[in-house]
Amino acid sequence: MTEFKPDILAFCCNWCSYAGADLAGVNRLQMPTNVNVVRVMCSASVKPEYVIKALSQGIDGVLVLGCHIGDCHYMTGNHRTAKRIPLTAKVLEKVGIDSRRVKLDWVSAAEGDKFQQVITEFVEEIKGLGPNPLREVRF
């Protein structure tokens, strides 16, 4: 059997977490190659539909990263993220998709090391969970 290489999507807000990811790069912090970053302006623009779409089409895990609460470039944008994403995870769980496949975290522009840590841990977590079962489910 070949080694399981999870395929992960990460939404990063432009102002904090995308900048945090940039900082991790500038500091050459090494991390697994499985995570592909999509830039959005604010974590609050991440529709639960994106998360659902990605997972139901076989992506192994979805990360949503934003500014810490209180630091959102759009004041309270991420307050909504803080509710929508956990709910999305719970809904997935109801139909048999492990809620750990969706993770919400806050990474500031200064937290390159936290970005590295979040990515590394999430990839490990997903490796532990194995491939997304929906990869195999054909409709």
Question: Rounded to whole angstroms, how far apart are CA atoms 83 and 98?
Answer: 18
Q: Across 1-128, where does the E strand assignment appear?
A: 8-13, 35-40, 61-66, 102-106
Given the structure tokens 């999870």, which residue do they identify?
6
What type of residue is 66? G
Which DSSP letter does residue 2 get? P
**CB closer to ligand FES, 38 vs 129:** 38
Q: Which residues bind ligand FES (CB under 6 A)?
A: 13, 15-16, 42-44, 66-67, 72-74, 77-78
> What residue 129 binds from another protein, ligand FES, none (CB within 5 to 8 A, per partner kind)?
none
Question: Rounded to whole angstroms, how far apart are CA atoms 45 and 10?
Answer: 13
Q: Identify the residue among 36, 110, 124, 128 touching another protein (CB under 8 A).
A: 36
Number of other CB atoms surrounding residue 31 within 10 Å = 18
Contacts (CB under 8 A) with another protein, residues 64-103:
69-70, 73-77, 79-80, 82-84, 86-88, 90-98
Closest contact distance (angstroms) between CB of 135 and ligand FES is: 30
End-to-end CA separation in angstroms for the chain: 25
> What residue 16 binds from another protein, ligand FES, none (CB within 5 to 8 A, per partner kind)?
ligand FES
Closest contact distance (angstroms) between CB of 55 and another protein is: 8
Query: Are the CB atoms for 57 and 90 separated by under 8 Å?
Result: no
Q: Which residues bind another protein (CB under 8 A)?
A: 5, 7, 9, 14, 18-19, 21-22, 24-26, 28-31, 33, 36-42, 44-50, 52-59, 69-70, 73-77, 79-80, 82-84, 86-88, 90-98, 116, 133-134, 137, 139
